[in-house]
Amino acid sequence: RIVDDMLELSRLGGGSRRLRLGQFDPGRLAHEAAESFRLSGNSRVALHLEVAAGLPRLEADAELVGRVLTNLLDNARRFARGRVRLAVRQEPAALPNGTLPAHASRALDAAGGRAVAFVVSDDGPGIAPEDLEVVFEKFARLKNPPATADGAISRDASFGPE
The pLDDT of residue 157: 39
- Give dist(CA 59, CA 108) in Å, integer: 11
Q: What is the pLDDT of residue 52?
A: 94
**pLDDT tens digits, 33-62:** 999 999 886 678 999 999 999 998 888 889
Per-residue model confidence (pLDDT) at position 19: 79
CA 64 to chain centre: 10
DSSP string, 122-139: ESS----GGGTTTTTSTT
> Which sign does the torsion angle of CA 106, 109, 110, 115 carry?
positive
Type of residue found at 20: R
Q: Check residue 101 and give its pLDDT.
A: 53
Model's pTM, two decimal places? 0.70
Split the chain (162 residues) into runs of 10 and give each run's mean pLDDT. 56 65 91 92 86 90 89 89 92 63 48 76 85 73 64 40 34
Smallest CA-to-CA distance from 79 within 32, 36, 139, 128 is with 128
- Across 84-123, b (16+ Cβ under 10 Å) vs e yields bbbebbbeebeeeeeebeeeeeeebeeeeeebbebebebb
Look at residue 106 in the predicted model and tell me its pLDDT. 44
pLDDT at 60: 84
